[in-house]
A and B are shown apart, each in its own frame.
Chain A
Amino acid sequence: MSDAMVRAEAVHKSYGRLAVLKGIWLEVMPREVLCLIGPSGSGKSTFLRCINHLEKIDAGRLWVDGELVGYRQQGSRLYELRDREVCRKRSEIGMVFQRFNLFPHMTALENVAEAPVLVKGEPKAAVLERARALLERVGLSDKAGAYPNQLSGGQAQRVAIARALAMQPKLMLFDEPTSALDPELVGEVLDVMRRLAEDGMTMVVVTHEMGFAREVGDTLAFMDGGVVVEAGKPREVLASPQHERTKSFLSKVL
């Protein structure tokens, strides 16, 4: 077993008769930032959701930090994990959604502090202190008492990042974190993500921000039709794509 943080071998996933993932092979090393790009419907988001078992994979194997996702292997047999074990593993992986999905009935601070207290049973006072520090880290210490609908999209997404970080995850998943934002608010979210990458967080980022992928990404993977068409150093892939499909996609978005 390699010491990869995420390792996918021939991951397949179908919704009914629609095959979305047709054999994904990938590796993300600790402290690495992997950017997934590709046209819509190429399976990027689905693959991301498989990593924390929000979706079940149909075939292949997927490991996070050396442990199978959603299953336990004994001999040649796979056993489904109990809900509680799935939840424990999810709690070690942070996820940020396109539409923020903040809890609207809680203030920004409560959003950040909720899960560590509820899921990990950490003492509330310590969590609140950490939550305040996290809000400060994403530049929102003055918004602690605001409800999500009083925040701009960029602020909401930064709270969502702080919420995920509050669980002290070993891996962060970003599902098109800037796609629902007004253009002038994209930068503030990417800044937070860039600093997170500089601090050594392992990240898988589904994105359409090619600039971010080039500057922050360690690896860029282009997905199309449920497979990884090509992957490599972002600068090289973006500058001289090897595959025809990559070329035509990049010519449309760059």
Chain B
Amino acid sequence: MDAVPPAAAQPGDAGRPEAIKAVPVRHPGRWLAALVVAVGLGGLGYSMATTHNYEWDVVGQYFTSTRVVNGLLATLVLTALAMLIGVSLGTVLAVVRLSTNPLLRSASWLYIWFFRGTPVLVQILFWNNISALYKTIVIGIPAGPAFFHFSANSVITPLVAALLGLGLNEAAYMAEIVRAGILSVDQGQHEAAQALGMTRLQTMRRIVLPQAMRIIIPPTGNETISMLKTTSLVSVIAYAELLYSVQLIYSVNFKTIPLLIVASIWYLIVTSVLTVGQYYLERHFGRGSARELPPTALQRLRRMLFTFHAQPPEPPSSVPSASQRHDQR
């Protein structure tokens, strides 16, 4: 058998052969596809700039008008509160769904079945018309004494109907997301926590849920972004969120397209902000799962600017080498 040439065995010394300089493979198909896309985008941009019906001046005029901004704020509040209800109730439902009590377990299952099985628009309409079903809302013991009486019409305002419709529906989806997260945590973690004397609740709060977060956060971010847009359904019950606000404006001045563009741009802006927030949340809860945290946007930018023409990357320093593993005692 031939001996391995010393140059290959000892990289980096004087015997290192010349670096490879080869002619790269051409990709005519890719060039063609890129050309088609570029022409398409150029055409779209040109049309958006020159077609009068976009009425960009109207877009600019209404973009920060009081009614639009108030509508945007209402949308943000609605999104935040509905997600708050969804996440907290969803977490409770998920924990109950995993309980050992069969009645509790089935109740949670039934809730999820019902609220996932009916369209959220129908649920919103239902809550808004609840006074046709129950004139008064009574808190008390069934067929027993009552503690509080409310008139349904005074309690269920459009905002409350919207929050109930969106929040209770969201809870059903969040319950499934949280449950998947909880189940993803290794059984050994439960045992270790129990062996240290932690109660079920302490184990859940300090050990299981923080680890489940890594699984829970990405879909919850999607749900939040989806919720932001779903709030527009609330326009059907005349709650002045972003979409209904612009509808009110264009029903008077008939500038339908520019005002829909105003709403769309705002939705895009908020969605973009939420996407960035989600990245940092994922990074925070990724602690301990990757050896090194992924870079922040700023770090990435800095790396791109300063290592553009730099030498080949150094070997990762955080991975302990074999010699480091034999640590000193």
Interface residues of A (CB under 8 A from B): 52, 54, 83-84, 87-95, 97, 99, 101-106, 114-115, 118-120, 139-140, 142-143, 147-150, 152, 154-155, 160, 163-164, 167, 184-185, 188, 191
6 pairs from A and B in contact (CB 8 Å cutoff): A83-B199, A104-B289, A105-B288, A118-B202, A119-B202, A142-B327
- B231: A residues at CB distance < 8 A: none
A83-B288 Cα distance, complex, nearest whole Å: 30
Question: Would you call B318 an interface residue if the criterion is a C-beta within 8 Å of the partner chain's C-beta atoms?
Answer: yes
A139-B288 Cα distance, complex, nearest whole Å: 21
| Given A103-B189, A188-B329, also A152-B197 (CB < 8 A) | no
| Given A106-B288, A150-B291, also A101-B191 (CB < 8 A) | yes
**Which residue of A104, A139, A152, A164 has the most chain B CB atoms within 10 A of its CB atom?**
A104
Can you list, as one digit per residue, whether each of B193-232 has a CB less than 8 Å from chain A (1) or not (0)? 1111111101000110011000000000000000000000
Question: Would you call B269 an interface residue if the criterion is a C-beta within 8 Å of the partner chain's C-beta atoms?
Answer: no
Contact of A90 among B197, B290, B327 (CB under 8 A): B197
Question: Would you call B192 an interface residue if the criterion is a C-beta within 8 Å of the partner chain's C-beta atoms?
Answer: yes
A184-B288 Cα distance, complex, nearest whole Å: 25
Verify B320–A152 contact, CB threshold 8 A. Answer: yes
Q: How far is the CB of A55 from chain B (nearest CB, A)?
A: 10
Question: Would you call B287 an interface residue if the criterion is a C-beta within 8 Å of the partner chain's C-beta atoms?
Answer: yes
Interface residues of B (CB under 8 A from A): 186, 188-189, 191-200, 202, 206-207, 210-211, 285, 287-291, 318, 320, 325-329
Beyond known contacts A52-B195, A95-B192, A103-B207: 19 more, CB 8 A cutoff: A87-B194, A87-B197, A87-B198, A90-B196, A92-B197, A95-B195, A97-B188, A99-B188, A101-B191, A103-B192, A105-B211, A105-B289, A115-B198, A139-B328, A142-B327, A143-B327, A149-B288, A152-B325, A167-B197
A150-B317 Cα distance, complex, nearest whole Å: 11
A106-B206 Cα distance, complex, nearest whole Å: 10
| Given A54-B194, A139-B329, also A87-B289 (CB < 8 A) | no
- B290: A residues at CB distance < 8 A: 149
A148-B189 Cα distance, complex, nearest whole Å: 13
Verify A97–B189 contact, CB threshold 8 A. Answer: no
Verify A163–B194 contact, CB threshold 8 A. Answer: no
A105-B207 Cα distance, complex, nearest whole Å: 8
- B192: A residues at CB distance < 8 A: 95, 97, 101-103, 160
A127-B32 Cα distance, complex, nearest whole Å: 66
A225-B328 Cα distance, complex, nearest whole Å: 42
Verify A167–B320 contact, CB threshold 8 A. Answer: no
Q: How far is the CB of B194 from chain A (nearest CB, A)?
A: 6
Verify B288–A164 contact, CB threshold 8 A. Answer: no
| Given A83-B200, A139-B327, also A90-B287 (CB < 8 A) | no
Verify B195–A93 contact, CB threshold 8 A. Answer: yes
| Given A99-B188, A150-B291, also A104-B211 (CB < 8 A) | yes
- A-B interface, 8 closest residue pairs, ranked by CB to CB distance from nearest: A91-B197, A101-B192, A95-B195, A115-B196, A139-B329, A101-B188, A147-B288, A104-B288
Residue of A nearest to B214 (CB): A105
A87-B241 Cα distance, complex, nearest whole Å: 50
